[in-house]
Amino acid sequence: MSAVAGELVSRFISLLLNKYHSSRAHSEEKVMERLQHLLMRVCTIVEEADTRYITNSGMMMQLKTLSETMYRGHHVLDNLRYHALPDSAGFDKVSINDSSGSSLYLAKRSRTTNDKATRLESHGALESLEIAIANMSEFIVLLGGCERMSRRPYDVYLYTDNFMFGRHAEKQKLLSFLLQHIDSPGDDAPAVLPIIGGAAIGKKTLVAHACGDERVRSRFSSILHLNGDNLLRIPDDGMTMEGMILVVIEFASDIGQDDWNMFYLFAIRMGRGSKIIILSRLQTLARFGSVKPIFLSGLSSHELKYLFKTLAFGSVDPIEHPQLVKLADEFDKLLHNVPDTLIAINILADVLRMNLSVQYWRCILDKGLRYIKRNLSTFGVQPSTLLEDDHPVN
């Protein structure tokens, strides 16, 4: 009787577990399908917004929120697609050779915790996307009234090595500043926009992207790129500037108020409607701006992961290489331990794109992780901290 009862209980529990796993898999599939559908709609809106001139500050804030939600959604979708795969990186926290019950229990508990975190994150991302899209109806109507940019065909979509990634709101704010007309007839002083951000964060790339716009090129008779260290020599050179001029000045160090006033008196002689852009790491230089500065911070982890995968896989569909997608997430640890992250992403992605094999990517990842471990054991801090302090690394 006890044996029969035990068998019945065992079968009943197995049946319940099978139903649970089946329903959970079905639920995850539904979440993935819904998430993919919403991301397609969001990407369409963001891509269309990038082809329009947006001057409304509220719309710029909505665009920034929408793009952040989009990159987070892509990150969560990748996690849902590939979290069930075995650890392709080969760096499991639990030793494979350790057959003790406690290690097995810790491994199972870790996997259960990760699965739960993935499910919570996916539902959070799904809810954020649904809310963002529900609030987009007014944005889409207003977007239809914005003037469309004229673009050369394929100048962005074919050449992924030469495009401005992200910074959707910042691009729109810069273009709005450059194309804004002066209504006051007595205001001949050039407007000044400071762009402040850390080293290699994309200040010059942002300006170069805006200067490549056809309306900006046709608006200004010339675009001058100046070095802040030589700024005071310009009035002494007797240079004359006619027409509407765009002056881009890069400052490596601070400048006194008297020196700036001397240059600005010279700049007033430029044609009416001229503009000045200040590029610097120093927030103190924002005091010279006549409009609200643009502060460039580092891209979010979701944006960096999306950019890295886009460049690393190139024209290849990542779905065809699920193990490599898992490995791509592991490279995030390396990229946070080098300065000039955007430059590092381009270099590393170019190396990996040459050989889309798991063995090759593991080899590169292993070298990078050993580099981090070696410096931690030698100096006790991350390599990124050493490089920021101009300290030699191993």
Each domain of the chain, given as residue ranges in start order, spans 17-144, 182-296, 301-388
Task: Compute how many other C-beta atoms are within 10 angstroms of the C-beta atom of residue 9.
Answer: 10
Give the pLDDT confidence score for residue 159 in this predicted structure: 45
**What pLDDT shows up at residue 153?**
46
Of the CA atoms within 13 Å of residue 64, those in its CB half-sphere come to 15
Give φ, ψ of 276 to 5 degrees: -125, 135
Per-residue model confidence (pLDDT) at position 102: 43
Here the tokens at position 243 are: 């027409």
Q: How confident is the model at residue 105 (pLDDT cuts 50, 70, 90)?
A: very low
**Short-list 43, 295, 298, CA closest to 170:** 295
Cα–Cα distance, 247 to 225 (Å, whole number):
6
Angle at the Cα of 175 from the Cα atoms of 170 and 180, rounded to 5 degrees: 130
CA 383, 198, 330, 100 dihedral sign is: positive
pLDDT at residue 152 in the model: 52
Question: What's the whole-number average pLDDT of the chain?
Answer: 78
Higher-confidence residue of 339 and 382: namely 382
Query: Letter for the amino acid at 80?
Result: L
Tokens (6 digits) for 47? 């891509």
Structure tokens at 171: 């691009």
pLDDT at 349 over 60: yes
| Residue 16 or residue 307, greater confidence | 307
276 versus 115: the higher-pLDDT residue is 276
SS3 355: coil
| Residue 284 pLDDT | 93
Percentage above 90 pLDDT, the chain: 15
User: Any idea which of 183-197, 216-230, 321-335 has the lowest mean pLDDT?
Assistant: 183-197
Lowest mean pLDDT among 166-170, 185-189, 205-209, 303-307: 185-189
At residue 96, the pLDDT reads 31
User: How confident is the model at residue 9, as a pLDDT?
Assistant: 60
Question: How many other β-carbons are positioned within 10 Å of the β-carbon of residue 100?
Answer: 10
CA–CA dist 193, 225 (Å, integer): 14
Spatial distance between the Cα atoms of 6 and 13, rounded to a whole number of angstroms: 11
Model pLDDT for residues 56-101, shown as the tens digit of each residue? 888 898 888 888 888 888 888 887 777 656 554 444 433 333 444 4
Whether 358 has a pLDDT exceeding 80, the answer reads: yes
pLDDT at site 91: 43
What pLDDT, on a 0 to 100 scale, did the predictor assign at position 123?
Answer: 72
Q: Which fold has domain 182-296?
A: Rossmann fold (3.40.50)
Residue 171, pLDDT above cutoff 80: yes
Q: Pick from 186-195, 198-207, 236-245 the range whose average pLDDT is largest.
A: 198-207
Q: Which residue has the higher pLDDT, 310 or 89?
A: 310
CB atoms within 10 A of CB 165: 17
Mean pLDDT of 7-19: 60
pLDDT tens digits for 49-60? Answer: 888 998 888 889
Beta strands, E only, the chain: 191-197, 222-227, 245-251, 275-280, 294-296
251 DSSP assignment = E
Sign, CA torsion 68/204/252/241: negative
